[in-house]
Amino acid sequence: MGESGLKVVFHGVRGSTACHDPHTHRYGGNTSCVSVKPPNEAPIIFDLGTGLRYLNASQNETEIVPFVGTCLLTHLHWDHIQGLPFFKSLLCEETVLEIYAPRQEDGRSLREIFLKKICPPIFPISLSEFKATINFHEVGDDDFMIGNTKVTSRFVPHTGPTLGYRITAANSTVTYLSDHQQPVTGFSLTTGARQICQGTDLLIHDSQYTPAEFEIKSDWGHSTLEFAMWVAETTSAKRLALFHHDPSRTDDALDVIARRLAGVAKNRGFEVFAAADGMTLEVSGVV
């Protein structure tokens, strides 16, 4: 890739829990993790699901590669953080990971929560025993800079404090809304969700359920494929990545969905595709 856009890599695209079987191997079974590399800047990671294990990994299994960069964490549910203790770069003293995540309603600090989640007997060692430096930053409806990259964070509807993010660099924008509660009746967007989606070059959006599944799980904090399509169209997003696939969604089912929605999206003026583990693309706002 040249210096004209953002390099986006999908490391984990599943929701709720990791899965691995012959029916899901093509799109992949790792939970949410996406990296974005602005030109001449340190990488930015969206979420810390099991896909994180494959980020920055060396083909030499004994080699530990240091990592310096940032994570924009949407929320603290297990499927979005469980890759952190398996991120091999944390074993290196040169690694520095800055984690931005939503401030909690109960007042607990992010560091306190992570130290209580990643420790014996749930995990063999405490997070504090890793050699890397991990810094936590609590954010809400904020606008801030990471190097030369502008970050817009907005609270979005889900179960528990949850953020969506929009990053802008190299005249390009990527919006990440991995977990997003669709309204139970009708389609609508909160002001914050609309702000981070409006006119984005790439919208990575929760599309976990079919309408029939949503009828049963309407208060579980997620969206239907149709709602993701509506969000992309109503906010004039240029490309939509269907994301946070249900662990029961097979590769064949995703193929059918992607083909069907691609035709619909083309007629509505944008592009749609189903994200897959290992997928890499360039996002450029330059026409």
For residue 35, being part of any structural domain is answered with yes
For residue 86, being part of any structural domain is answered with yes
Place 57 in a pLDDT band, splitting at 50, 70 and 90.
confident
Whether 2 shows a pLDDT value over 60: the answer reads no
Per residue in 113-161, pLDDT (tens digit) is: 999 999 999 999 999 999 999 999 999 999 999 999 999 999 999 999 9
How many domains is the chain partitioned into structurally? 1
pLDDT at 1: 41
Q: Pinpoint the alpha helices (H) of the chain.
A: 110-117, 191-197, 211-216, 225-234, 251-268
pLDDT at 205: 98
Please state, in angstroms and rounded to a whole number, the distance separating the CA atoms of residues 117 and 49: 14
For residue 72, being part of any structural domain is answered with yes
Please state, in angstroms and rounded to a whole number, the distance separating the CA atoms of residues 116 and 87: 18
C-alpha dihedral sign at 229, 235, 241, 242 = negative
* Full domain range(s) for residue 232: 6-283
Nearest to 114 by CA among 155, 78, 88, 142: 78
For residue 257, being part of any structural domain is answered with yes
Task: Please give the share of the chain, as a percent, with pLDDT higher than 70.
Answer: 98
pLDDT at 3: 57
For residue 113, being part of any structural domain is answered with yes
Residues 6+ apart with CB under 8 A from 63: none
For residue 67, being part of any structural domain is answered with yes
Q: What is the mean pLDDT of residues 28-37?
A: 98
pLDDT at 58: 73
pLDDT at 277: 97
Q: What is the CATH number of the domain that holds 259?
A: 3.60.15.10
Whether 287 shows a pLDDT value over 80: the answer reads no
For residue 1, being part of any structural domain is answered with no
Separation in Å, CA 183 to CA 28, 199, 217, 251: 28, 22, 12, 27
For residue 214, being part of any structural domain is answered with yes
Per residue in 206-237, pLDDT (tens digit) is: 999 999 999 999 999 999 999 999 999 999 99
Q: State the Rg of the chain over Cα.
A: 18
Mean pLDDT, rounded, of the chain = 95
pLDDT at 259: 95
Per residue in 60-74, pLDDT (tens digit) is: 878 899 999 999 999
29-33, 55-59, 160-164, 275-279: segment of lowest average pLDDT? 55-59
Whether 78 shows a pLDDT value over 90: the answer reads yes
Find out whether 219 and 192 touch, Cβ atoms under 8 Å: no
